[in-house]
Structure 1
Amino acid sequence: MTLVMENVSKVYKDGPKEFKAVDQASLEVKPGEFIAIIGPSGSGKSTMLSIAGALLAPTSGKVLLDGENVAELSAKKITRQRLEKIGFVFQAANLIPYLKVKDQLQVINVIAKNKGQSRSSELLKHFGLDHRTTNYPSELSGGERQRVAIARALINDPKLILADEPTASLDSKRGREVVEMLADEIKNREKAGIMVTHDERVLDVCDRVVEIRDGKLENNDELSDDSSDIAYKPSEKAY
């Protein structure tokens, strides 16, 4: 799947005043490409991600998933798009506390009425969780909970993966493991991926780093082939 955002803006109004959370932003993410969006707090990162995932409608502009304008779809079709084509990984794992690990994944299959059952065992084994299938979230480490959340996001084999601060609650080692797992899934299965992050330590795992400031995208260029050994240095470090 290719994601294309064309001149997307999100404007909030407070009486006569307007605030542009996203301002004329354009971005394309191709299959097999993993992009990081960075920027100061309040710069529009999460808003941008929510618009990409059809959780939030833009005030203006287009969001195209495989050429289809999401804004022109009915609410029912948008919900189906999110369920079938988009996988979300959030800062908190948001696991259901009374469900065992294996059931965390199956609940998505039930909601989607989908044939993702066969991937459940495969994903849990792939993420090193096959010995944890009968454990509850409270019995898992932070890294294990986040891996379950990733497996759950991938159960329906989505074409677009969106991650919002997936390393925020993890130490550097576990955080890098999580991002590398996401990158492997995106590249090996030809998915499109976007990660919002403050964690500079994992930027080298991404194909491209885009900076957003005051709702405007900057540094929106692909990394060169020989840039994998070069640390990306944003213009402001405190975000």
Structure 2
Amino acid sequence: MLELQQVHKTYTTPQGPLKVLDDVSLRLAPGQSLALMGESGSGKSTLLHLAAGLDLPDQGSITLAGQNVSTLAESDRAKLRREKLGLVFQQFHLVPSLTVIDNLRLQARLANRDDTDWTAYLIARLGLEGLEKRYPEQLSGGQQQRLAIGRALAPRPPLLLADEPTGNLDETTAGEVLELLLSLVRETQCALLVVTHSPQVAAPLDRCLRLRHGQLINTEL
């Protein structure tokens, strides 16, 4: 579902070149869940952005659902994200002017996969029944993150990328949100890549890899 081969990424800074990823290779099979751990600045979020086609590597290749993301034009990468990816971030990135139900259906509509029955099921599973006409600012942090997860999964993408998905939540709420996320991922049978610094988040996933100074400590290819 996702494969990175010998990926390098360097940014230009006032202090000179900053190497963020150095010869990174990994593979995520369909239906698998993978935690990518590492300290702040280790390159975790950069890897996630590259995997989503939000940025391009300096060297190496990134293949998503059989397509080489590195060679696609921006319009084609955007189309690939709409059709193949769900994205969940630490910041919820909900649209403040849209209601709960419209936020939930947004990604599915963009992917032409708006399913009324699936939406109703998600609302129930997310614990948002009766809140469909509220706006994001009227929800708690946990409710907003559950909504963000539901929005990402509404089109039933084959791959979900999550960047510190419980980082803004208290411990109890974070545990509940993580349990819901993993349960819905199992139901939809999508692959999951989670960037996290938390062992508690990584523990239930199928596999765990660690980044240190831009390099994978235990690479699999």
- Matches of 1:7 and 1:42, distance apart in 2: 19
Unaligned runs of 5+ in 2: none
Distance 1:135 1:186 in 2: 26
Partner Cα distance (2:108, 2:186) in 1: 24
In structure 2, what is the Cα distance between the partners aligned to 1:58 and 1:32? 25
Q: Secondary structure at the match of 2:96?
A: coil
Aligned residue pair count: 219
Tell me which residue corresponds to 2:95: 96
Partner of 1:59: 58
TM-score with structure 1 setting the length: 0.85
The one-character-per-residue Cα deviations of 1:25-81 (angstroms, maximum 9, x if unpaired) are 011111121111111111101001101111111111111112221122222211100
> Against the structure 1 CA distance between its residues 205 and 130, is the aligned structure 2 distance closer, same or farther, given a 3 Å change threshold?
same
**Contact 2:2–2:62 (CA<8 Å) still a contact in 1?**
yes
CA distance in 1 between counterparts of 2:140 and 2:168 reads 11
CA distance, structure 1, for counterparts of residue 20 and residue 211 of structure 2: 10
Give aligned-pair identity as a percent: 39
Is the contact between residue 209 and residue 220 of structure 1 (CA under 8 Å) also seen in structure 2? no
Alignment-derived partner of residue 5 in structure 2:
6
1:84 is paired with a residue whose SS is helix
- SS of residue in 1 equivalent to 2:133: coil
SS, match of residue 203 in structure 2: helix
Asked if 1:143 corresponds to 2:142, the answer is yes
SS at match of 1:63: strand
- Runs of 4+ aligned residues of structure 1 deviating over 4 Å after TM superposition are none
Ranked by relative contact order (alpha carbons within 8 Å, sequence separation 6 or more), the top structure is 2
Q: Distance in 2 between matches of 1:220 and 1:171?
A: 32
Mapping for residues 80-91 of structure 1, pairs under 5 Å: 80-91=79-90
List runs of 5+ in structure 1 lacking aligned partners. 222-239
The RMSD of aligned alpha carbons is 1.7
Matched residue, 1:70: 69
Cα contact 1:8–1:58 (8 A) shared by 2: yes
